[in-house]
Every structure is written in C-alpha cells, then in structure tokens.
A and B are shown apart, each in its own frame.
Chain A
C-alpha cells in the first residue's frame, strides 16, 4: 500500500500526529493558509519564530510547527514576540492567537505593537466566542447573541478588529474568513513580506461553541453564513451603514510602507557605532 503524505507535513514536527481541534473547526484551514504562504514564499521554518498565547488557535504553531515555538501566557504573545523580534531582527516572528487572547486580555499589546510598527506578522483567529473555556462572550461576540455568560443576550458592542488595528498604525491589515482560504494565504504572504506590523484577521468557525450559541450549528452552515454575508471592502466603502449591518467586511485595509521599529534600532546602533569609531580616530 502506498502512503501519500500531505504536502505541508514537512513543516510540522514528525512526532506530532494528532491535532487538538474539534471536528469542523476552522483552525485547520488557517493553519494550512499559514504553511502554504511559507511554502509559496520558499521560506524555511528556520527563518521563523512562532509565538502564541492561550486558547484553541494558540495551538496552531505549538506543538505542531517544526520551528522555534514559544507558547506564552494568556494575552501576552505580542509582548513576548516584540522582545523576540528585537533580539532577532533577521527572523520572521509570527504570532498566532485568538480574538479573546489578542483583543480582550491582550488588547493593549495589540494596539501598541501596531503603533510601534514592529515587524511582526499576527494571524488573529476570530471565532467570535471563547471556545476552549466553554462558549463565553468575547469582545468580538455580536450584540444580542446568547452565550453561556450572557444568557439573556450580550448587551455590549463588539470590536471591529481590522479597522481598529489599522487605526492604531499597522503597516498591513487584512481580514478574510475561512471561506476565503486562497485570499487569506495571499494576505499572509504579504504580511510576512511586509517590513512592519501586519495583522491578518482570520474569521473562523467554531461549530461547537459559536455554532451552538448562534444556532447555526454545523461548520458547513457557518461557512455558508460567511459566504453569504461577506462583503469586499471596496464594495463596502460604497454601501450605507444600514446595509452593512451584520455583514463581514473582507479584504485589505492597509498596505503601506512606513518606518519600522527593528530597522530603526539597527540604524541607530550603526550610527552610534560610526560616531564612536570617528571619536576614537580623533
């Protein structure tokens, strides 16, 4: 019997043979988009350090990816990754974590990393709920949804992550759903190549928790929902707010070149070194 291996298997640790995700989870799609982006760019896993936090999607790189992986505390992967990147400016440092991790407990680090424009690629998996802990309301849960911690329906408004991070100063911001794996892969490639802070918001299905709360049920139903309700950003710009209610705007918000923190540091050190050498000559 011949055994064919998944073309992306070469990027995962050989001894890891099982995932931790529930059937129908969108994490597999996001993980493939990340690995396909690396594959298509012709990069080596040794060129990367992956940093993740706490929650289902933080398990995308750890323990699976055959690379340096740092699995951190809840909310803090961007803070850890900032230190890793400043210490290893030549490596691609990628953060993979969820909406609860990166916008609730870790929200401050997200906007400050965007403001600093430190060269990180952040893949933020947004499933609109706390999955691992049993379906609690997240800052991304749509208003009115009934969850285990908002049994009478959420009364709060949700974060619109991509434009928020764009406003905070990121160099590259995109949002796609797991219904758009090819577009997501393209944006992740751009994010990796971008010298600056890049955010790819991956709206993803959690059939177990979100599926239950929203009564959408299965992964297929949620993916159909993504398909029917996604509006490309260029179209959305011409639409009225009312028509956009409940829609998922997808596409690229920002793709700009601006001064990046690790390059600025390298430049500063070079300048000071030259100054010092001049000084010694005098």
Chain B
C-alpha cells in the first residue's frame, strides 16, 4: 500500500468513484478546493479535506455553494489549481459565478456528482439531469468543457484531464459524474507519477502594466496574470478589452468579450474532444455517455450475440458538443439510438446533427431512477431495426 502522504498514490486500488476523483485532483496538482456538504458528492470533499493539507494544499468548507465556487475562482487567481465539488442543487446555486469564471477566463474544475432532480429530488440516486444546465445554465452566451466518466477508473483519469484542460485553455471544466459511479467501488489503477502528463497554465513575465500585455481574449489562450507577482492585473467579469479594462460602450469590444472565449474553445476542440466507438462498421449505433454507457455496451453485445449488427459510440466529452463525430457516425449507420439516463437532454443536439442522414430515436431508462436494463435497450434496438 502506498504512503498516504504521497501526491500520487500509484498502484491498484478497490475504491469508490468519489475517492478516485479526489485522487485524480491531487495527482493533477490541485492545491485548493472548496465545497459544501451534499449527497452524493460529499465523499469527494471529505477526502479532499483529509488529503489536501498533506500535500501542501487547502480545503475550505464554505457556507454555501456560491461561496465555494467564488473561493475556488479567487484561489485560481491566487495561482492555485482550484476546484469545487457538488451535485445538481449546488450547481444551480453556482451558476452566476460559473459565468464569472467564463468571462474572466479562469481555470477551474467543477465536479458534479449528479442526482435525480428537479429541486431536492432524490439525493442518492444518479441521474444525468445537469448535462444541459452546466452548458447553458449561467446567463449569456458562452462555452465550457464537460467530461463524462463511466467508471471509478475514469473518475480518476478524467479528473486529471479536467485539470489539464482547465489550465491549458483557461476555462471552467466540468466532470459530469453521477451518484451511481460516485458511490460504485471498482478497480482503480493509478499510474506512476512520471507517467502522468500534467499541464500548467502560462503566466506572463515582465511588464507591470496590463496595458502592455494581452491578458484576455486570445483565441490561442492568453497567459494568465495571476495575483501576487506585481503584474497589477485588472480582472472584471464586466465587458472588458484584451487588457482586462472595462468597456461598456464599444460594440466591437462587446462582440470580442462574448465571442473570443467561445472561439478559443471552438478553435481547439479537435485537440481534446473525445468519443469512443466500437464496431464502427455496424449499421445500428447506440450513442450514450456517462454511467449508462455501460448498459449500452452490454446491450450491443447481447444484440450481436443474437446476430444483430449493433455498435456503440460513447461521448467522453459532451461539451463542446461532438457535432462532427455525430455527423460522421450518422453518415455510416441506418439507425442511431440515443441512450441517456434522463429524459433526453443531448437528444435534440444529436438529432440536429444526425437526422438528415439516418433514423434517430431516443431511449430513456425504463423507470427514471434506475439505470437502463440492457435487455430493455435490446428490445428497443429490435423495434428500431424492424
């Protein structure tokens, strides 16, 4: 067993998804986390509170989720790799300041261990109900990155990736877990420290005046003028120019203020958008993401055993939306069944990219609150093919 004082707990573990997420954060170099207790995400915060001070970091139990996300943004500007962790109700509270992180191009990881909603809903049951709210829930137009793990192992891997993406592109990155994989125990393999590729944000050197620098709105990602280094950074979420200086009168600046952070993500999306396909020649494909991908794969396997030509496509990145990847798939298949553990949050986006080329249908769980039974998916595959 590894020494718990180490940053990277290299080895094979049998632990919860929420444990793996914490270890992914620590391995990625997280030094600040803030959170408020909430089921089914609490174990991440609990474990961070124990682990962070041992690796030189800080954990703040905030008075609410608004404070948690604000403190994490503040810590990110102080130069820390920062995160917060919550579930749907907490995301709802954070939304205004998620917009702040977008507008100020702040690297930040937000872990959402989703639960059944709306409102207080069912705390302990996983349901991917926040997929659209993390992309569209804050006011105004913007673009974030969101990743969808399907296993405790990916709670580790994709948390590391979330930090790398946040640091590389100066953007809030969401890890869209849910109560099922958060609480599921499985084998987790943590590689040796040297095998983990860890990214750091760029910081400008030299000049003490933001007017002589370009601190914001570079589609190739401006170096971040973190606080405490005499850079005299001017940071505001109000409309600002590339120096960070407020400008509420020039429409050209308003256009850049909204568009450049969006274009930044769009321009680089091919560097990080990930989907995973099996049996790419199959004429029927199941498209899914997160926990339910496990059922989709099992259903496709059952179908193939019965002689049906079925493959799967899993979205590891759900935002920016993998539009090209869906179009490519739609061009090859006759049937595309969208399997989501909700009432169809990504279905309209998938349909918009695919419906011109193939038949598209949606399948939610047999009962909301239960993960899809592979047999249930199989019966719908048969219906669609017939």
Is B a genuine binding partner of A? yes
Q: Which residues of A contact B (CB under 8 A)?
A: 13-15, 45-46, 49, 51, 62-63, 66-73, 76, 79-88, 90-91, 108-109, 112, 265, 268-269, 272-273, 276, 279
Cα distance A255–B79 when bound, in Å?
A: 32
Which residues of A are found within 8 Å of B58, using beta-carbon distances? 86-87, 265
Which residues of B are found within 8 Å of A70, using beta-carbon distances? 74, 77, 227, 235-236
Known: A87-B75, A272-B54. A69 touches B233 (CB 8 A): yes
Per-position binary interface string of chain B over residues 223-239, scored 1 when its CB falls under 8 Å from any chain A CB and 0 otherwise: 00001101111111110
Which of A69, A84, A91, A269 makes the CB contact (< 8 A) with B53? A269
Which 6 A-B pairs give the minimum distances between C-beta atoms?
A87-B78, A83-B74, A83-B71, A79-B70, A83-B75, A71-B236
Q: B62: CB under 8 A from chain A?
A: yes
Cα distance A204–B26 when bound, in Å?
A: 46
Q: B63 touching A68 by the CB < 8 A rule?
A: no
Q: A91 touching B34 by the CB < 8 A rule?
A: no
Which of A76, A82, A108, A276 makes the CB contact (< 8 A) with B54? A276
Which residues of B are found within 8 Å of A88, using beta-carbon distances? 78-79, 227-228
Q: A279 touching B3 by the CB < 8 A rule?
A: yes
Q: A51 touching B74 by the CB < 8 A rule?
A: yes
Q: B32: CB under 8 A from chain A?
A: yes
> What residue in chain B is nearest A262 (Cβ atoms)?
B58
Which residues of B are found within 8 Å of A81, using beta-carbon distances? 74
Cα distance A124–B75 when bound, in Å?
A: 22
Cα distance A112–B70 when bound, in Å?
A: 14
> What residue in chain B is nearest A108 (Cβ atoms)?
B63
Q: B211 touching A269 by the CB < 8 A rule?
A: no
Minimal beta-carbon separation of B95 from chain A (angstroms): 11
> What residue in chain A is nearest B63 (Cβ atoms)?
A112
Q: B71 touching A62 by the CB < 8 A rule?
A: no
Which of A15, A51, A83, A108 makes the CB contact (< 8 A) with B211? A15
Can you list 27 residue pairs at the A/B interface with Cβ under 8 Å? Answer: A14-B209, A46-B232, A63-B234, A63-B245, A66-B232, A67-B232, A68-B77, A68-B228, A68-B232, A71-B238, A79-B67, A80-B73, A83-B71, A83-B76, A83-B77, A84-B75, A86-B75, A87-B31, A87-B74, A88-B228, A91-B227, A108-B64, A109-B63, A265-B58, A269-B53, A272-B5, A276-B5
